[in-house]
Structure formats: C-alpha cells, structure tokens
C-alpha cells in the first residue's frame, strides 16, 4: 500500500505503530507536508493518506479508513494565529501554505466567529518573520511550537472552533478514494492503536523540545480517536466548505 502521512510531531504515534506492526512490510510510506498529502491522494499517487480534511469535497468519493485522526477537543497548540495586536486590530493575515484545512478554518472563523475581515495574504517561506504591527499570521505544525513566546497574542484555532461550534475539530484523517479490504482496514486500525498504546516507549526516542511538553501534547492537545462527536464536527466543517455542491464521505 502506498501511504502518505503528515510529517509533523503529532503523527509520530501513528508512524511508530505502523512500523512496529505486521503491516510494516506491506506499506510504502512517505512523509509530506499536509498540502502534499492532499495532492497525492487527489492525483492517485497514494492509496491512503493522512490528509487535511479540506480535500474531501474535491474527491469523487472519500472513505475514512480508520477510527483515528488528528483532532482536537479544545486548544491544539500547533494551529494558531499569531499577532502583535488584538484580533480587532488585525488588518492583514498571512495564510500558512502547508494546509488547506487550517486556511479554510481560519477564514471561516474570521467571518463567522471573530467577525473580522483582514486581507488574506498567501504566504511563502519565511513569512513568520514578517508578522508585525497589524499583520498577523496563521502558523501550523511544528513551526508553531514556541511561537507563543515570540508574539504578544496567540489565537488557537482548535479552541476557537470548539468555542464557536460546540464540537471537536478534525484537522486530518486517514482517507482513501476507494473502499479498503476489511481485513486490511482492521489491521491498519490495530497498527495505529499500537502506536498510541506505546507512547512511553515512543517518548524515549523522540528528541526533546525546550519548554514544550511532548507527552502532554500527545495526550491532551491532540485527540486521536475519531469518535461520534468528531464525526459531527467534521461534517459540520465540510458542510461549510462544500456548500450547495455537497460531498460524499463514507465511514
């Protein structure tokens, strides 16, 4: 199986489980930034992708092939708007080029929840250093770690969505464009669970990050189980994205 997965810290429990499982010899896994994961699924370069969910309305059919995801039930820490001024004073906002989901989410929150209308700017490499004055920036993934210390204001998108929608949020899910053999799906699910069940062992081999509690991040900020509440949150978000065009998502 050709797999692609997000190359961030929050994915490491899944990767650890896959390579410790009996599927290890069956998978060809590449680690990519979220937008590349989505593109590989869209073009058929990957059979299964841990992909930003915003790609789902663009797929002819989408199948969630696992009971696990990259989600949050509140503050997620690594998907945030950083600014030197309060929300109401933001005039421009850089949009991280790593993930369509986070970009769509921040635009939705600006319009519906925060009630602000900044000029959105497509970001390029190094844009984090241009956040100043009335220009804010959306930063996601590992690059967001430590940014709370660089900027005066931090607005966590996981927390904002839950406060507004009253539901958890799903940033990325394991998606295929066709049904997966039930036996393989079961073994795949078991492999992901294996990684999550062995966090203590994983933490021993992950390099530490100064002033950042990796274990707390795995256990409290990232919520990995794709439960019924997350399913509702996912469909609420996809409904906003798809509008009248709708989408086909199978669980």
3-class secondary structure, 117: coil
Structure tokens, 49: 């992708």
Q: What is the CA radius of gyration of the chain?
A: 18
Report which DSSP code applies to 53.
G
**Residues 55 and 31 occupy one common structural domain:** yes
* Domain end marker among 110, 137, 165: 165
Name the β-bridge partners of 30: 4
* Other CB atoms within 10 Å distance of the CB of residue 20: 15
Among residues 102, 131, 165, the one where a domain terminates is 165
Helix (H), strand (E) at residue 68: strand 62-72
pTM, two decimals, is 0.95
Do residues 185 and 209 share a domain? yes
Structure tokens given for 152: 């005066």
**Is 208 found in the same domain as 173?**
yes
Domain match, 157 and 173 both: no
Asked if 66 and 172 sit in the same domain, the reply is: yes
- Chosen domain end from 115, 147, 165: 165
Q: Which of 66, 51, 64, 63 is CA-nearest to residue 21?
A: 66
Task: Count other C-beta atoms under 10 Å from residue 88's C-beta.
Answer: 8
pLDDT tens sequence across 42-52: 999 999 999 99
Please tell me the distance from the alpha carbon of residue 199 to that of residue 210, in angstroms, as a whole number. 19
Close Cβ partners of 139 (under 8 Å, ≥ 6 residues apart): 80, 81, 82, 96, 128, 147
Low-confidence ranges of the chain (pLDDT < 50): none
* CA dist 114 → 63, 87, 106, 133, 186 (Å): 32, 8, 10, 19, 41
Whether residue 28 is found in the same domain as residue 45: yes
Indicate the number of domains in the chain: 2
176 and 245 co-located in one domain = yes
161 shares its domain with 85: yes
**Four-CA torsion 98, 187, 72, 141, nearest 10 degrees:** -30
Q: What are the angstrom distances between the C-alpha of 48 and each of 15, 51, 125, 134? A: 14, 9, 28, 40
In DSSP terms, 5 is beta-bridged to 31
Taking a C-beta distance cutoff of 8 angstroms, is the pair 102, 52 a contact?
Answer: yes
Please tell me the predicted confidence (pLDDT) of residue 89: 98
pLDDT at 246: 81
Whether residue 183 is found in the same domain as residue 154: no
On whether both 159 and 173 belong to a single domain, the answer is no
C-alpha span between 52 and 35 (Å, rounded)? 7
Supply the CATH number for residue 92's domain.
3.40.190.10
Strand positions, DSSP E, 102-210 = 119-122, 135-140, 153-156, 169-176
Same domain, residue pair 85 and 147: yes
137 with 211, same domain? no
178 is in which domain, residue-wise? Answer: 2-71+168-250
């Amino acid at each position: 199986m050709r797999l692609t997965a997000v190359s961030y810290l929050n994915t490491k429990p899944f990767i650890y489980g896959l390579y410790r499982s009996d599927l290890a010899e069956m998978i060809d896994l590449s680690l990519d930034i979220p937008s590349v994961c989505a593109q590989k699924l869209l073009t058929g370069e990957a059979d299964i992708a841990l992909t930003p969910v915003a790609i789902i309305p663009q797929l002819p059919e989408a199948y969630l092939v696992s009971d696990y995801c990259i989600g949050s039930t509140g503050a997620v820490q690594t998907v945030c708007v950083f600014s030197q001024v309060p929300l109401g004073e933001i005039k421009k906002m850089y949009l991280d080029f790593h993930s369509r989901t986070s970009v769509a989410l921040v635009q939705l929150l600006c319009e519906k929840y925060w009630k602000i209308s900044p000029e959105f700017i497509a970001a390029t490499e190094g844009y984090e250093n241009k956040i100043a004055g009335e220009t804010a920036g959306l930063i996601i993934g590992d690059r967001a770690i430590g940014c709370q210390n660089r900027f005066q204001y931090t607005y966590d998108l996981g927390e904002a969505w839950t406060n507004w929608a009253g539901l958890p949020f799903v940033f990325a899910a394991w998606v295929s464009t066709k049904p997966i053999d039930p036996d393989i799906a079961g073994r795949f699910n078991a492999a992901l669970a294996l990684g999550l069940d062995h966090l203590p062992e994983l933490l021993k081999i992950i390099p530490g990050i100064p002033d950042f509690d990796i274990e707390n991040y795995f256990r409290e900020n990232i919520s990995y189980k794709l439960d019924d509440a997350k399913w509702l949150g996912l469909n609420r978000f996809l409904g906003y994205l798809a509008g009248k065009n709708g989408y086909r998502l199978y669980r």
